């Protein structure tokens, strides 16, 4: 099965599971957060079509669904990139150059914090502390921690993950 076909199957299965959860809570406006949490868990974000479906089934307004999604940081309206770059802006990182590191990330990737590149590879998010103050400034890329990052190191970090993605997609085509 190709990667695309496999992805479609997984997505179809996720939508079936989501539909079952929505139906289980039909008319129960108090289950809104629980249902949205399930959607977020299954898809990684809460797309607009699902927001509409949840609102209709639970008997709440679309603006209420949107309000919950935008209030809680757990929920996202757009899919995240394959590589999520968390840029620490806590005090230790901030005073050691985190704003410049973030600006370089945004420049190199052509997106602002909170955005995802058009190719779906990278998402930049701002975090308040990564718990590695001794390595400030720090970024993480998924579960990899990069410490003592300077703005000049950003291109090589990004290129490493681009090369990794290319190598993995080359293997998928074999």
User: What does the pLDDT look like over 93-111, one tens digit per residue?
Assistant: 999 999 999 999 999 999 9
Q: Domain range for residue 17?
A: 3-71
Q: Kindly report which listed range (10-14, 70-74, 104-108) carries the lowest average pLDDT score.
A: 10-14
Same domain, 67 and 92: no
Predicted confidence (pLDDT) at residue 33 exceeds the cutoff of 80:
yes
114: CB partners within 8 A, 6+ apart: 124, 125, 126
Predicted confidence (pLDDT) at residue 89 exceeds the cutoff of 70:
yes
Q: Cβ(36)–Cβ(46) under 8 Å? A: yes
Predicted confidence (pLDDT) at residue 174 exceeds the cutoff of 60:
no
- pLDDT value at residue 170: 81
- pLDDT value at residue 157: 98
- pLDDT value at residue 73: 79
Predicted confidence (pLDDT) at residue 5 exceeds the cutoff of 70:
no
Helix (H) or strand (E) holding 84: strand 83-88
Q: At 126, which CATH number? A: 3.40.30.10
Mean pLDDT score across all residues of the chain: 92
Same domain, 66 and 102: no
Same domain, 65 and 89: no
Q: Is residue 17 part of a domain?
A: yes
Same domain, 92 and 164: yes
Same domain, 93 and 146: yes
Helix (H) or strand (E) holding 156: helix 154-172
- pLDDT value at residue 67: 96
Predicted confidence (pLDDT) at residue 117 exceeds the cutoff of 50:
yes
Q: What pTM does this model have?
A: 0.74
Predicted confidence (pLDDT) at residue 4 exceeds the cutoff of 50:
no
Q: Is residue 78 part of a domain?
A: no
Q: Is residue 134 part of a domain?
A: yes
- pLDDT value at residue 165: 95
Q: Is residue 157 part of a domain?
A: yes
For 10, 56, 90, 110, the CA distances from 158, given in Å and listed in that order, are 29, 42, 22, 12
- The residue out of 11, 44, 71 marking a domain boundary is 71
- pLDDT value at residue 36: 97
Domain count, the chain: 2
Same domain, 101 and 166: yes
68: CB partners within 8 A, 6+ apart: 32, 33, 36, 75
Q: Is residue 76 part of a domain?
A: no
């Amino acid at each position: 099965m190709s990667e695309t076909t496999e992805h479609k199957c997984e997505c179809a299965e996720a939508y079936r599971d989501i539909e079952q959860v929505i139906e289980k809570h039909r008319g129960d406006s108090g289950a809104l957060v629980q249902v949205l949490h399930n959607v977020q868990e299954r898809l990684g974000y809460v797309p607009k079509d699902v927001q509409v479906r949840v609102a209709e089934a639970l008997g709440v307004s679309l603006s209420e669904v949107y309000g919950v999604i935008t209030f809680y940081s757990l929920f996202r309206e757009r899919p995240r990139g394959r590589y999520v770059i968390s840029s620490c802006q806590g005090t230790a990182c901030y005073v050691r150059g985190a704003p410049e590191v973030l600006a370089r990330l945004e420049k190199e990737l052509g997106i602002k914090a909170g955005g995802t590149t058009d190719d779906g590879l990278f998402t930049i998010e701002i975090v308040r502390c990564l718990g590695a103050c001794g390595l400030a400034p720090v970024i993480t890329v998924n579960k990899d921690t990069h410490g003592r990052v300077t703005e000049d190191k950003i291109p090589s970090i990004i290129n490493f993950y681009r090369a990794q993605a290319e190598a993995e997609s080359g293997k998928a085509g074999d």
